[in-house]
Amino acid sequence: MRLTPLILLPLLVAADQAPLPDKAAGWFDKAKAYVSSAAPSIPIPEFPNPLDAGASKVAAGVVEKINVRNWQRKLAPKADTDEEWIILLTGGNKTCYGKCGPVNTAWNESVPLLKALPAPAGSPRLKLGLLDCEKDEVLCTAWASGVPVIYHFLIPAVASTAGTTAPPKPLHIIPLNITTTEASDIVSLPSTSKSRYLQFDEYTGILHPFDGTLAKFGLLHPFGYFMWALGSIPGWVMMLGISFISRQIMSRRMMRAPGIPEVPAAGPGAPHGQAAPRTAPATGSQPKAGGGSAKKRK
Ligand SMILES: *[C@@H]1O[C@H](CO)[C@@H](O)[C@H](O)[C@H]1NC(C)=O
Ligand SMILES: *[C@@H]1O[C@H](CO)[C@@H](O)[C@H](O)[C@H]1NC(C)=O
Ligand SMILES: *[C@@H]1O[C@H](CO)[C@@H](O)[C@H](O)[C@H]1NC(C)=O
């Protein structure tokens, strides 16, 4: 298992905070009110269902690939306009147990529909991203994500937040059901559509990629690498390491213990006899042993 349980933490938190039904209904009313009259709520099921081949062609053109090197730049606040990012985190055989295929298809179908959404004046610019956790396990680990899931970010423009040092970048995490997700479930998410992202609580935990404690201390990437390494080191390497370290400790203790005949024998002047096959710790403690015998000689 590559993804450690910690990776699922935000999802569990999100599930734990699942809104009560009436709360969700309230949100949905708010969401409906949020769709401006210029952009009447989109009759999503009536959209033509694009052929997969055409859809993936469109997807290739407008979906930005997110990775560990570019995500901070791509998601940085822009000079004049707010941006709303919808990022699909998906995986393959290793990270999604080969089950993300249907979700990937639904995503590809949703991309042309998302791009076709009307953008009324003042609405944030809609950006689409894809993070392949199979290729970029470190970033997925740093973002603490299970797959498949959509990360919805609202990135305020620089102009609108001038003066504030670190304006919050709200993140909503939308888990996708691997069997039932359809394009309409994705198209209804953004604020220019039905704002369905509001049905999911905002994530404000320590692993928030921008506002979380780890990110504030610049520890997000180290954490990602550390957890990823922990998950990637095979068990036998771990066992070898533990056995090596415990041997080192044991031999150090033996060297320090009094009454061991080897200690004087390994003192200065002693030929490379019994002490020779010993490894690092024996040599390391030799000055001590030598000092001990020197004192004895006085
Ligand atoms: C989705 O579109 C991308 C980009 O063209 C393509 O690489 C991928 O194979 C497509 N996936 C599916 C499941 O259609
Ligand atoms: C994923 O697994 C399936 C079935 O186990 C296999 O057919 C396919 O080639 C694998 N894909 C990759 C990219 O390894
Ligand atoms: C996905 O949807 C199916 C059918 O509605 C349901 O049985 C299943 O529990 C759902 N899976 C998750 C992880 O919510």
pLDDT digits (tens, 9 = 90+) for 193-231: 888 999 999 988 888 888 887 887 778 888 787 777 777
Question: Which residue would you say has higher pLDDT here, 9 or 56?
Answer: 56
In a domain, 260, yes or no: no
Residue with CA nearest ligand 1 atom 6: 56
pLDDT digits (tens, 9 = 90+) for 117-162: 888 888 899 999 999 998 988 888 888 778 899 999 999 888 766 6
- From the CA of 18, which ligand is nearest? 3
In a domain, 63, yes or no: yes
Burial of 97-110, coded b for 16+ CB within 10 Å and e otherwise, reads eeebebbbbbbbbb
Domain count, the chain: 1
Ligand 1 atom nearest residue 108's Cα? 1
Q: What is the pLDDT of residue 145?
A: 76
In a domain, 209, yes or no: yes
Full-model pTM: 0.64
Closest by CA position to 220, among listed 205, 231, 238: 205
Q: How far apart are CA 126 and CA 191, in angstroms?
A: 9
In a domain, 296, yes or no: no
**Parallel, antiparallel, or unpaired: how do β-strands 125-132 and 171-175 relate?**
unpaired
In a domain, 285, yes or no: no
Ligand 2 atom nearest residue 93's Cα? 1
Residue 272 has pLDDT above 50, yes or no: no
CATH number of domain containing 114: 3.40.30.10
- Domain carrying residue 134: 50-232
